[in-house]
Structure 1
Amino acid sequence: MGAFGRFWLADAISMFGTYITTVAVQVIAVVMLSASATEVGVLNAARWLPYLLFGLVAGVIVDRCRRRPMMIGTDLGRAALLGVIPALAAFDQLSMPALVAVVFGVGALSLFGDAAFQSFLPRIVERDRLAWANVRIEQTSSVAQTSGPLLGSALIKFLGAPLAVLADAVSYAVSGILVATLRGKEEVPERVERHLLTELREGLRWVYRHRMLAPLSITSHARFLFTAMASTAFVPYAVAAVGATGLGFAYAAAGVGTVLGGAVSLRVHRGIGLARTIVLGRLLVAAGFALVLTGDWAVFAGQFVVGLGLGVEGPHDVTYRQQVTPDRLQGRCNATIRSFNWGMITIGAPIGGVIGDLVSLPTAMIVGGTGMTVAALTLLTSAFRDADLPSHPR
């Protein structure tokens, strides 16, 4: 198995484990610890809070260090942290503060590990094959998103939620071992500048003063903001329309759509170009939320279209920034964009909830879909409309 094969396998194993834990932690909070809705909200926010607090600093640190050891360390660190949950449960010492602390710690390690992951990929994959590699990773993520929660539910039923979390801990340990087997010498980055604020500004300038990256990044932030608004309203809307079980199948439909979107994304790019491919993907996501509102069973079709759009768009914006960004700035570029993207979720989600409560759930989805559409069309009118990637292998 080649370097990318082991790299991809490590990511796939840990990704399946992550979706298992997503279900298991919720069950632990609600069933074992009798958490209130507010406490569940705090638990969910803890996963993304590190991106807001440390995201920009993480990019600087990733660019200062060798990335393979960082990936190994964050994988093994997450394995150890997740192992705390079943250990505390075994001694009847598990509490909501402890659960929140573990989730926050895993989120912080994921921030550094993910930034290193995206920055390391260009070192083991030729640049004209980056789009192909990112499509494969995106498809794996979609399969994990679809089947991981189902696998998690089965493990919870037969082993209990704490031991299901232990399965994720094992997956991170296996991932770390696989990454450790990657061959190739990785030089320590040259120590030219070690002033934190200077390095932060350099990363921000690269992203937001770049003629192509700036409009791509800013419209991506807007997409995450408005998608979070629509997604937040979608959950209670779908539960009312098709029930809690139906919601699970709707998410599965989205996963199937993402797999299919990823399968055709390279062909779409060859046919209509990079900018139009990304815009098409974002418009499909907006259309999917609109389709949801046309009837109860349209919940499934709408989510399929949402997933299709994510699959069409997903690999290409990541590939583009990997290709145009110098290696010494890869960590800061990826961490900056991801931090602001995920940060938009913490803003958009409550706004969507407030609109849903004060006006209506369909209104929140319409506002979100409209915002996504405007952001997508804005990208097409920017300098990014002329951007493209090198040709890929067929």
Structure 2
Amino acid sequence: MSRVFRHGGYPTFWTADTVSMFGSYVTTVALPVVAIGTLGASDTEVGLINGARWVPYLLFGLLAGVVADRYRRRPILVGADLVRAALLGLLAALAVTGALRIAGLVAFVIVFGALSLLYEAAHQSYLPRLVPPAALTAANARMEQSGSVAQTTGPFLGGSLVAALGAPLALLVDAVSYLVSGLLLATIRRPEPAPERHDRHLGRELREGLAWVYRHPVLAPYAITLHVRFLMASMTSTVFTLFVLRGLNPGLPGDRAAFGLGVVLAVGGLGALVGNSLSGLVGRYGIGRSILLERFGEPVGWIVAALAGAGVGGWILVGAAQFLVWAALGVSGPNEMGYRQAVTPDYLQGRMNATIRSLNWGMFTVGAPVGGLLAQHLGYRPAIWVGVAGLLAGAVAAALSPLRHARHPEPVPDGARRGAEGSPPATADRDR
């Protein structure tokens, strides 16, 4: 574990990411409480708010990848963090003064999502400039492990802050975390050369990123089935939040329900930590197998959630559901990211990540509102079952594709990968 921290700049990068994630999990609890408790949003409106954050991913995701490949990535990370800190401070002030409305919250979420999109395109593409290809899986695992600790304690902290101070003031904790993250990233002194400026053409650059992902023998089925997974997971997670806050124990006061949601999400963080700890062991048996374990394991967790009833037993089941879902995600996450980064040359890192992530998170623009509608018109448990069916269909499709044979490739010199525009690397044959 300690070896990866020997690479210059990585310890600071890891610290900034960890601080930011702690704050983000506070907002995970606080934002729906602002919508429901402060603004009185309906189930459908909550779904629209959840989906609004991902509209920029669907509309501008590919463009963000081009930006991350055209410019130095560290300044993008610093700027996005500092502006997001200011926006969260403004949102908290509007909520406290009673000036916030549903339309304003939706607008805020869209702008915040655009900044997060740009940040994430640069973030995942900056890591390969700090550590060599052989260390990428370990570097991603360390970051996901710290993220799992944040996920374990952050929602609990968020639920406690919401109960004690109210949701608007709890948002200020996340604002401070973005501020600290931005300042830490600004201190990294690892040289980052400016990207080459020749032959720039937006249309061609967009096509290169798309071709790299969707013509690759393994990345293509991986990405397509992952898009399906995100669509169904966005529906199910939206319904799950509403179910815990409103449907599990309908008579429970809002502040106590928010605290309960924080505890449940914290249990999910424990699951992610366990999964991350096992990711290296599972990855030895093949990247494809670790991904399939997640694809089939996640719906099992949501099935447990659908079986939860009222009372203490219900809270135990929704906590167990989050543990199972996040344990499956924790096993797969570092292996997935390490594979994607290792098979992609540096000049395509931003576009590869943005191509996959923009459509992944863009699925929330559809899935989250649909989840809210299903919850309002079918009920919480039937809506969860719809999501489970979709997740299982995507898992079967992934299992029948070349993805099941994917293994981490041997390092290949970047120049050797640039032979044909958008073509897969020389090591891709072993993944068929």
Identity between Structure 1 and Structure 2 (%): 52
- Aligned runs of 1:1-394 on 2, under 5 Å? 2-88=8-94, 93-238=99-244, 240-241=247-248, 244=257, 246-270=260-284, 272-296=285-309, 297=313, 298-355=317-374, 361-389=380-408
* Secondary structure at 1:125 match in 2: coil
* Secondary structure at 1:265 match in 2: helix
Q: CA deviation at 1:258?
A: 1.1
Q: CA deviation at 1:360?
A: 5.6
Q: CA deviation at 1:311?
A: 0.9
Counterpart code for 1:343: G
Counterpart code for 2:357: R
Q: Is the 8 A contact 2:225 2:395 kept in 1?
A: yes
State the distance in 1 between where 2:375 and 2:164 align.
37
Q: Is the 8 A contact 1:25 1:161 kept in 2?
A: yes
Normalised TM-score (structure 1): 0.89
Q: Is the 8 A contact 2:25 2:154 kept in 1?
A: yes
Which deviates more, 194-203 or 62-71?
194-203
Q: CA deviation at 1:18?
A: 1.7
Distance 1:161 1:123, change over 3 A: same
State the distance in 2 between where 1:8 and 1:188 align.
23
Distance 1:123 1:224, change over 3 A: same
Q: CA deviation at 1:343?
A: 1.6
Q: CA deviation at 1:158?
A: 4.6
User: RMSD of the alignment, in Å?
Assistant: 2.7
Q: Is the 8 A contact 1:216 1:317 kept in 2?
A: no
State the distance in 1 between where 2:211 and 2:117 align.
21
Aligned to 2:428: none
Q: CA deviation at 1:75?
A: 0.9
Distance 1:175 1:355, change over 3 A: closer
Q: Is the 8 A contact 2:57 2:117 kept in 1?
A: yes
Distance 1:235 1:83, change over 3 A: closer
Normalised TM-score (structure 2): 0.82
Q: CA deviation at 1:212?
A: 1.2
Q: CA deviation at 1:36?
A: 4.9
Q: CA deviation at 1:138?
A: 1.7
* Secondary structure at 1:187 match in 2: coil
**Structure 2: stretches of 5+ with no match in the other structure:** 251-256, 412-432
* Secondary structure at 2:199 match in 1: coil
Which deviates more, 210-219 or 31-40?
31-40
Render the CA deviation track for 1:332-356: whole Å, top value 9, x for unaligned: 1111111111122232334445555
Distance 1:188 1:335, change over 3 A: same
State the distance in 2 between where 1:299 and 1:153 align.
16
Q: CA deviation at 1:203?
A: 0.8
Distance 1:240 1:101, change over 3 A: closer
Counterpart code for 1:347: V
* Secondary structure at 1:169 match in 2: helix
Q: CA deviation at 1:58?
A: 0.7
Q: CA deviation at 1:59?
A: 0.8
Q: CA deviation at 1:14?
A: 1.1
**Structure 1: stretches of 5+ with no match in the other structure:** none
Q: Is the 8 A contact 1:128 1:390 kept in 2?
A: no
Which deviates more, 143-152 or 107-116?
143-152
Aligned to 2:416: none
Q: CA deviation at 1:88?
A: 4.3
Render the CA deviation track for 1:291-314: whole Å, top value 9, x for unaligned: 334454333323221111111111
